């Protein structure tokens, strides 16, 4: 464990004026409060806060943040109180520690509505003091580095939360190094086979082609020396998760990926950045459409750099990023650059942005009584979207997500402008409101009194701010009228497929559409925000047959060796679309299990028998068995209606088994043959909507495999 002297030395390296005695006092206080507490690994618990403080010292943060890192778990996990921390270390540190404690208690990985509400609390806390989230990110990074000591199910939960929330958040705040490490650590937990596969291919590639990075960086340095440009050149292979994501997005194998190497050129001046770009383009052929200038048009988080892709040695495509040292500091540490210290003074990096501006701007868009789900939608748009930069007639720059339209531009200026928008001119020419804006365009919004948002605008708008404002206006117009109209539309839509729009059906639709209640479904139907077809499909998506030739059973699984046979494990009954893994059996081929099958624990010490598999992406025939556990009312004709509904969803019943018969209900297992996991979910949704169905769940039994499932061997 890092000692107090070691930590103080780390801080004094960049801040000689730091309060060493206060840091030592916080170190001793934290050690005393956590005395006797152990981590899952068996190490003393205080090793964790110290490691978080060391991570933050690498970002050259102020004393208050370092002390907060040392104490961030004291209020939650020890006898220390807010008043005690405030008395010993001041109100600033106490507020920061309390803020981190509240963030720790938020269940951000919950799939329920509370997740969106907690997301709002997260952003409100961040808007008050960004250092709270910097400590939380450091806390999450160290926990991910030591995640192997947690229970397997806890590892998956934390890794998924990291991948979905904390890694994108770090990226949105410009802390790219942290985003990449968090993604890679989460990837190692969520898909260890995939990551190991990428690593093996990197090793194989390096063995076949030698050290490509060293050769290309050497070439670049020589070219820059010829034109007297002083610069540092770094190269690296992209992170395994980055390569994996690109393989999934482009649907390409590793061998077909080209730009798996990235290079950075750090220059002395901004002028040298553009001279470097010219030098590289003269020496290597630039790839069309792969150039971005974030120096002239910085990202909203302060990121500045020139990106280009060129064809390097042996025709390999390599990405090159060119920026100055100050730009590089912001690119690496993001908003942390706003708080960093050098030589005892607050660092004055001209490219560091005020870290609270974009969060405050986002939170101000939503009033306290707004839908939390809409806020979550806006946050994710902010974190994941790329950007385009457009200009107002006065020359002001408006940052928008890629794919944004004049509607988004209008609402970005002011909600009133958005509400009254009737048209737009782009670069002086009249364009439809659904036009996708491009970088550098000048946009003029035309307005008219008496104009109100149209429901069709929701399909046009791309930003959370625009969508929220449009929805708010539409709902305020005449909710009762929309509900009345929605009832008629729902009745007609359900009748079209031979069903009734019962209260339970509408409640089921609301749950699947993530809406609060049936009235909201009807209101959105009446306002044209939802279509009757979409409501019906949320419950009965498979009443109409799907087109396309089904995948042959022998080609259903990808990843087997030629001639290798497989069979679906009867314990978990994996369906196409689910994540799967294979276990080899000598003389019997491969048994395919769902990735979450409890039976896999039996083979965890026999990794040589595991095979990385996945289902073919095409449509499959309805021949994959699954078991449903149903409780239904004991009335005349109920079982017949259930069987008819299963047939209407194009599923086939292979057998029935009654588990319990009571005067008022039956409990039974129904063995059905399905296309894929989506077919299963849609069937369960359709059954759940029926008033005669009291309960339904998927049945799996790892201890007593069912003989009713498909166990035939398939040859590849």
Structure tokens given for 196: 């190991």
- Residue 691: Cβ within 10 Å count: 12
Cα–Cα distance for residue pair 205/28, rounded to 1 Å? 50
Three-class SS of residue 61? Answer: coil
Structure letter (DSSP) for residue 301: T
Cα–Cα distance for residue pair 522/517, rounded to 1 Å? 9
| Chain-centroid distance, C-alpha 460 | 23
- From the list 5, 43, 76, 488, the catalytic residue is 76
* The Cα angle at residue 350 between residues 349 and 356, in degrees rounded to 5: 85
- Give me the count of residues in the chain: 716
Residue 519 appears among annotated catalytic residues? no
Cα–Cα distance for residue pair 150/134, rounded to 1 Å? 23
Structure letter (DSSP) for residue 166: I
Q: Which among 469, 482, 486, 499 has a CA at the least distance from the CA of 407?
A: 469
- From the list 28, 63, 73, 77, the catalytic residue is 77
Q: Are 484 and 526 in contact (CB under 8 A)?
A: yes
Cα–Cα distance for residue pair 446/423, rounded to 1 Å? 5
Three-class SS of residue 635? Answer: coil
Structure tokens given for 421: 């928008």
Residue 77 appears among annotated catalytic residues? yes
Q: How far is CA 291 from CA 234, 288, 311, 453, 602, in A?
A: 19, 7, 13, 37, 51
Cα–Cα distance for residue pair 132/123, rounded to 1 Å? 10
* The Cα angle at residue 117 between residues 116 and 121, in degrees rounded to 5: 115
Cα–Cα distance for residue pair 119/107, rounded to 1 Å? 9
Looking up tokens 């009228």 gives 481
Cα–Cα distance for residue pair 680/221, rounded to 1 Å? 58
Q: Are 337 and 347 in contact (CB under 8 A)?
A: yes
List active site positions: 76-77
């Amino acid at each position: 464990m890092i000692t107090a002297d070691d930590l103080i030395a780390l801080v004094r390296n960049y801040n000689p004026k730091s309060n060493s005695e206060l840091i030592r006092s916080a170190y001793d206080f934290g050690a005393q409060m956590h005395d006797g507490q152990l981590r899952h690994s068996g190490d003393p618990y205080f090793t964790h806060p110290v490691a978080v403080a060391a991570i933050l010292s690498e970002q050259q943060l102020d004393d208050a943040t370092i002390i907060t890192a040392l104490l961030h778990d004291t209020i939650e996990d020890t006898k220390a109180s807010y008043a005690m921390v405030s008395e010993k270390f001041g109100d600033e540190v106490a507020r920061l520690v309390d803020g981190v404690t509240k963030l720790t208690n938020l269940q951000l990985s919950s799939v329920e509505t509370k997740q969106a509400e907690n997301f709002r609390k997260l952003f409100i806390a961040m808007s008050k003091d960004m250092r709270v989230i910097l400590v939380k990110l450091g806390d999450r990074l160290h926990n991910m580095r030591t995640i192997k000591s947690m229970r397997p199910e806890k590892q998956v939960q934390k890794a998924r939360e990291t991948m979905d929330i904390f890694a994108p958040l770090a990226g949105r705040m410009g802390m790219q190094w942290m985003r990449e490490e968090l993604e890679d650590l989460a990837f190692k937990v969520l898909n260890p086979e995939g990551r190991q596969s990428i690593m093996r291919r990197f090793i194989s590639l390096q063995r076949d082609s030698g050290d490509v990075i060293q050769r290309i960086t050497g070439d670049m340095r020589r070219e820059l020396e010829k034109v007297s440009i002083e610069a540092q050149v770094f190269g690296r292979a992209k992170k395994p998760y980055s390569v994996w994501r690109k393989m999934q997005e482009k649907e390409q194998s590793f061998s077909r990926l080209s730009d798996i190497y990235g290079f950075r050129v750090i220059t002395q001046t901004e002028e040298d950045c553009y001279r470097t770009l010219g030098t590289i383009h003269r020496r290597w052929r630039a790839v069309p459409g792969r150039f971005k200038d974030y120096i002239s048009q910085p990202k909203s988080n302060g990121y500045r750099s020139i990106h280009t892709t060129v064809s390097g040695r042996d025709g390999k495509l390599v990405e090159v990023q060119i920026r100055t040292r100050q730009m590089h500091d912001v690119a690496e540490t993001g908003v942390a650059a706003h708080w960093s210290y050098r030589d005892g003074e607050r660092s004055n990096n001209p490219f560091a942005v005020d870290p609270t501006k974009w969060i405050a701007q986002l939170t101000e868009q939503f009033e306290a009584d707004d839908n939390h789900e809409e806020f979550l939608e806006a946050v994710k748009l902010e974190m994941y979207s790329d950007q385009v930069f457009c200009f107002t007639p006065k020359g002001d720059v408006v940052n928008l997500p890629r794919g944004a339209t004049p509607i988004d531009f209008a609402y970005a200026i002011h909600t009133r402008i958005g509400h009254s928008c009737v048209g737009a001119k782009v670069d002086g020419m009249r364009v439809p409101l659904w036009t996708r804006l491009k970088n550098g365009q000048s946009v003029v919004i035309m307005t008219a009194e008496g104009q109100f948002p149209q429901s069709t605008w929701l399909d046009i708008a791309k930003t959370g701010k625009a969508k929220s404002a449009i929805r708010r206006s539409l709902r305020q117009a005449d909710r009762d009228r929309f509900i009345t109209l929605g009832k008629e539309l729902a009745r007609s839509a359900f009748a079209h497929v031979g069903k009734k729009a019962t209260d339970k059906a509408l409640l089921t639709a609301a749950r699947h559409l993530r809406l609060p209640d049936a009235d909201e479904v009807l209101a959105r139907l009446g306002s044209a925000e939802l279509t009757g077809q979409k409501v019906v499909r949320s419950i009965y998506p498979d009443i109409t047959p799907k087109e396309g030739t089904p995948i042959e059973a022998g080609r259903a699984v990808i990843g087997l060796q030629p001639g290798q046979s497989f069979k679906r494990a009867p314990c978990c009954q994996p369906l196409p679309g689910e994540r799967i893994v294979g276990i080899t059996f000598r003389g019997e081929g491969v048994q395919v299990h769902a990735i979450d099958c409890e039976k896999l624990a039996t083979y965890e010490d026999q990794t040589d028998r595991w095979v990385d598999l996945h289902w073919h992406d095409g449509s499959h025939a309805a021949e994959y068995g699954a078991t449903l556990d149903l409780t239904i009312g004991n009335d005349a004709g109920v079982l017949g209606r259930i069987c008819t509904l299963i047939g209407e969803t194009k599923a086939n019943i292979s057998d029935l088994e009654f588990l319990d018969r009571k005067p008022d209900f039956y409990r039974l297992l129904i063995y059905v043959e399905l296309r894929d996991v989506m077919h299963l979910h849609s069937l369960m949704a359709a059954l759940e909507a029926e008033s005669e169905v009291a309960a339904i769940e998927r049945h799996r039994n790892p201890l007593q495999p069912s003989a009713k499932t498909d166990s035939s061997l398939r040859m590849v």
